[in-house]
Structure 1
Amino acid sequence: MKRKICVVVASRANYGRVKYLMRAVQSHPDLELQVIVGASTLLERFGKAINVIKADGFTPVRSIHYVIEGETLATQAKSTGLGIVELSSAFEDLQPDMVVTVADRFETMATAIAATYLNIPLVHLQGGEVSGNIDDRVRHAITKLADLHFVASELSAQRVVSMGENPRYVFNYGCPAMDILANEDMSISNEQMSRYLGVGRPIDWSKPYVLMIQHPVTTSYGHGFEEVSQTLQALKSIPDIQKVVMWPNVDAGSDDVSKGIRHFREFNMNEPIYYYKNFSPEDYARVLNNALCCVGNSSSFIREAAYLGVPSVIVGDRQQGREHGRNVVFASYDRDHIAAQVRAQVDHGRYEPDYLFGRGDAGQRIAAELATTDFRHGA
């Protein structure tokens, strides 16, 4: 009898983190993959990542809407509750042997609570890390709910064990997002990127560009407009380089950040900037790999960019305290400071690859563990 492994994909970032694990589970002779797609992966304004998931050959067994409109602190809490309700029904119907959830978002919390109360073993990826907003507390709470822990670094493994988790069920195989970087062609061209449409001055992918992604910070809710405006003004002060700007995630405060981007865009249409909603995991990796520098607060600038050696400027406190490699410098929410750090990183150029978060073989190793681990509740 195959073990049924249910993977819940609830954001575009989730999918990039777990895609190679899904492939490994799908191809393993002793495992059966169940995919639930929900939350912002179903929404057009966040790039509708479900279309990418289906195009990659995965057939979701459930598509669940549980994002409440508004992107406020209250709607984030209510979306978590709705996710618990909807996912509980799905798990009860599908009867998986294990549920896999990723990282530290409110959707992840909903998955963790639903699986735990149904007494389904919970598999948590990327536990034990530290960051500077509510994700930090959510991640550690999920660690205490989880049964199997697949962390991305040795320091994270130590933290999970120090929280009282059984070392027997804590595995450091690295982050499956590194698998994309290790196994895909990372070159980029105008031809392969022409299928993505956005707004602004089109990018010539054969020429230098800076990549910007800035998400809302829940612990400074209400300040997203001002925070992202500082970063955009910093990029404007560097007129000789193209910029790629991606839309923020669905966290509380997303509307403020989106409004800041739209406001800047409307008054700066002649700037060499193009605005995108989403890319496939592979194409996002290519965009990241070929950037002169990354700026904003995406965790991919710390994780994937370290593996690739891409210079990164982390703005503000969303990633405060997070383990990082040599490629990262930090900046305050001040346009002059951000611009100076970006220029310094561009001048520095590429860093040596840093394998802090794995070497690109996590998916297969995690799938093998899921097929063989003799986990028992309370063991």
Structure 2
Amino acid sequence: MSIKKICVVITARPSYSRIKTALTAIKKHPKLELQLVIAGSALLGRYGNAVEVIEKDGFTIAEKVFMVLEGENPTSMAKTTGLGVMELANVFYRLQPNAVVTIADRFETIATSIAAAYQNIPLIHIQGGEVTGNIDEKVRHANTKLADIHLVASQDAYARVIKMGERPETVFNTGCPSIDLALEIKRNSKLDFDPLKKYGGVGAEVNWKEEGYIVVMQHPVTTEYASARKDVEATLKAVHELNIPTFWFWPNVDAGSDGTSGGIRAFRENNQPENIHFFKNMEPNDFLKLLVNSQCLIGNSSVGIRECSYLAVPVVNIGTRQNRRQRGNNVTDVSYNKGKIKDAILERIANKNITSESIYGDGEAGVKMAETLANVILEFHKTITY
């Protein structure tokens, strides 16, 4: 029996939860061999080094690729991607995988796609066909056109990938592995750890046990990076004035993250908010437990659109980062306006009439992905069809 070597490249902290159960299923499958490559901001401590969590979960890392250039602006993003192409090309040459997996739409994921496609290595794209806006929109669809096999997360995405000219027999609606984790949490949602004791962080010792809490995760928007500091200040002021115990998570490495993180640091220094505690990262399951027991998630993270729709967690989605993305009844959209953010948070906390929706899968995505990879015919050439 021929074993397929499947090389999965994780380039950022959030991508791990988007692929974790698939990694487990690939690792266990008798027809597959997992080659795990960790790259980009997933290796950097200031963005919540994912390596410790990944290794703790029992995965062996085949290669580490340091490729992030300082700057957190569009030029450094372009250079980071270019460096990623060079480094990943060498990694794939050494590992000789039968297929490479690139995940979703982060700007540097196109480096994975180019390095694989140019070496005639079959490329598998996870979560193609979705709509988001900013540079992620372009990268996601560019990955789709470079990819040979598509493992999409929703029926809407499935239809869109085929409309883009991909052959139907190469497109599979497996759902998103992050929903697999959400299903685990739905079955056992008890918050069985103290976030402050387990993860440390900085800021106030918030009274979250008695009063309840909200969670904030706000990233910069790459096409609006110049306003990142002003945008996060609007959210900071709204959350501070509400005086609800808050767990706030650090932004990712996109252009504008220096503005977002600088705004957070300055606000913390100048105002010393007694209701906000800041974290860099959490293990995926712990983070979902924190969310499902919260009163509301605020910001612009895709977790509010995906996992929170399945877990029926109220979400206030701010700005354009998730523009036109398919969403559930748990989401309220607002602009970067302090008053509107405050009103939306209070309305969402008061309105408990939210139902769980399975837009992005049924909790079996990881197994479906591994089974598909084990049985699909791997090709590295294609002709567009319409």
The two structures have a TM-score, normalised by structure 2, of 0.96
SS at match of 1:124: strand
Post-superposition CA distance 1:194-222 (Å, at most 9, x none): 22011111345534111101101011121
d(CA) in 1 for partners of 2:336 and 2:73?
A: 21
- Equivalent residue for 2:136? 135
- Equivalent residue for 1:376? 379
Equivalent of 2:223, from 205, 219, 223?
219
Equivalent of 1:210, from 214, 217, 222?
214
Partner amino acid for 1:233?
Answer: K
Query: How far apart are 1:316 and its partner, in Å?
Result: 0.6
Equivalent of 1:189, from 192, 206, 214?
192
- Equivalent residue for 1:306? 309
Post-superposition CA distance 1:178-236 (Å, at most 9, x none): 11111243321344762201111134553411110110101112110000000111111
d(CA) in 1 for partners of 2:205 and 2:311?
A: 25
What pairs with 1:74-89 in structure 2 (closer than 5 Å)?
74-89=75-90
Equivalent of 1:229, from 203, 228, 233?
233
* Bigger shift: residues 348-357 or 43-52: 348-357
Query: How far apart are 1:285 and its partner, in Å?
Result: 1.1
Q: Gaps spanning 5+ residues in structure 1: where?
A: none
- Equivalent residue for 1:199? 202
- Equivalent residue for 1:50? 51
- Equivalent residue for 1:316? 319
- Equivalent residue for 2:275? 272
Post-superposition CA distance 1:125-178 (Å, at most 9, x none): 111011121100110111000111111111111110000001101111110101
Partner amino acid for 1:226?
Answer: K
- Equivalent residue for 1:13? 14
| Alignment partner of 1:332 is 2:338 | no
What pairs with 1:87-98 in structure 2 (closer than 5 Å)?
87-98=88-99
- Equivalent residue for 2:360? 357
d(CA) in 2 for partners of 1:31 and 1:190?
A: 35
- Equivalent residue for 1:341? 344
Partner amino acid for 2:300?
Answer: N
Are the equivalent residues in 1 in contact too, given 2:123–2:380 (CA < 8 A)? no
Post-superposition CA distance 1:36-69 (Å, at most 9, x none): 0111111110111111111111111101100001
SS at match of 1:237: helix
Instruction: Pick closer, same or farther for the CA change 1:89–1:317 going to 2, 3 Å.
Output: same
Partner amino acid for 1:16?
Answer: S
SS at match of 1:245: strand
- Equivalent residue for 1:105? 106
Q: Gaps spanning 5+ residues in structure 2: where?
A: none
d(CA) in 2 for partners of 1:353 and 1:323?
A: 14
* Bigger shift: residues 369-378 or 293-302: 369-378
What pairs with 1:27-46 in structure 2 (closer than 5 Å)?
27-46=28-47
Instruction: Pick closer, same or farther for the CA change 1:112–1:300 going to 2, 3 Å.
Output: same
d(CA) in 2 for partners of 1:268 and 1:349?
A: 32
Query: How far apart are 1:252 and its partner, in Å?
Result: 0.6
Report sequence identity in percent: 46
Query: How far apart are 1:260 and its partner, in Å?
Result: 0.7
Post-superposition CA distance 1:93-152 (Å, at most 9, x none): 100001111110122111011111011111111110111211001101110001111111
d(CA) in 1 for partners of 2:196 and 2:272?
A: 21
The alignment of Structure 1 onto Structure 2 pairs a total of residues equal to 378
Partner amino acid for 1:187?
Answer: K
d(CA) in 2 for partners of 1:144 and 1:231?
A: 37
Instruction: Pick closer, same or farther for the CA change 1:195–1:372 going to 2, 3 Å.
Output: same
Partner amino acid for 1:318?
Answer: R
Over aligned residue pairs, what C-alpha RMSD do you find?
1.2
d(CA) in 2 for partners of 1:135 and 1:256?
A: 19
| Alignment partner of 1:154 is 2:158 | no
SS at match of 2:108: helix
Post-superposition CA distance 1:214-270 (Å, at most 9, x none): 10101112110000000111111211x211100000001100000011111112224
SS at match of 1:188: coil
Query: How far apart are 1:11 and its partner, in Å?
Result: 0.8
d(CA) in 1 for partners of 2:208 and 2:123?
A: 41
- Equivalent residue for 1:22? 23
The two structures have a TM-score, normalised by structure 1, of 0.97
Query: How far apart are 1:277 and its partner, in Å?
Result: 0.1
d(CA) in 1 for partners of 2:154 and 2:167?
A: 17
What pairs with 1:250-261 in structure 2 (closer than 5 Å)?
250-261=253-264
Are the equivalent residues in 1 in contact too, given 2:42–2:51 (CA < 8 A)? yes
Partner amino acid for 1:210?
Answer: I
